[in-house]
A and B are shown apart, each in its own frame.
Chain A
Amino acid sequence: GENVEQHPSTLSVQEGDSAVIKCTYSDSASNYFPWYKQELGKGPQLIIDIRSNVGEKKDQRIAVTLNKTAKHFSLHITETQPEDSAVYFCASSGGGTSYGKLTFGQGTILTVHP
């Protein structure tokens, strides 16, 4: 089955700096890659996603890049703010019998220091 590796497990930045989180996946048939933000005691919130026919997508301070050849994708947050502090999860949705199912990475605890 699909395997998603996420790094780093923790990331600490100063307010205003950029943060980058990277994920690799194993199933070359995967074609959908969402990123979720989870605050303590809450459910994951979709913040951005990308599909395999696109190499990059941006939404204000958040961007995601995808390299299908290398099977990795990254989340970029610019001008970080304290409210960006949370756990971030990447995920992939595989093809075939795994269509529509999300496989999650291990998560990254992002701390933005004011």
Chain B
Amino acid sequence: SQTIHQWPATLVQPVGSPLSLECTVEGTSNPNLYWYRQAAGRGLQLLFYSVGIGQISSEVPQNLSASRPQDRQFILSSKKLLLSDSGFYLCAWSPRGGDTEAFFGQGTRLTVV
């Protein structure tokens, strides 16, 4: 069966520090991969999605970047965090093609102080 791992679960970082969140998927090949952010009391905002290694699409201009160095690995990064980067970050995957749903990792709760 397929599983998705995301870590760390919680993170407190000072303003201006770098960020690296990692997500890996097991049990499938060529997944579509997504990074979402959910601010407190708000909906899910799509940040990035990827259809293959090295292929990243950005949905919103921001202080963040994403990379996909391997087929089942998706990394969210920032060189310098802002207070507004605080939120609940969720990685998700869906099978390539088709009208299928997405499956989420357990999320990382980031607080920038």
Q: Do A and B come from one complex?
A: no
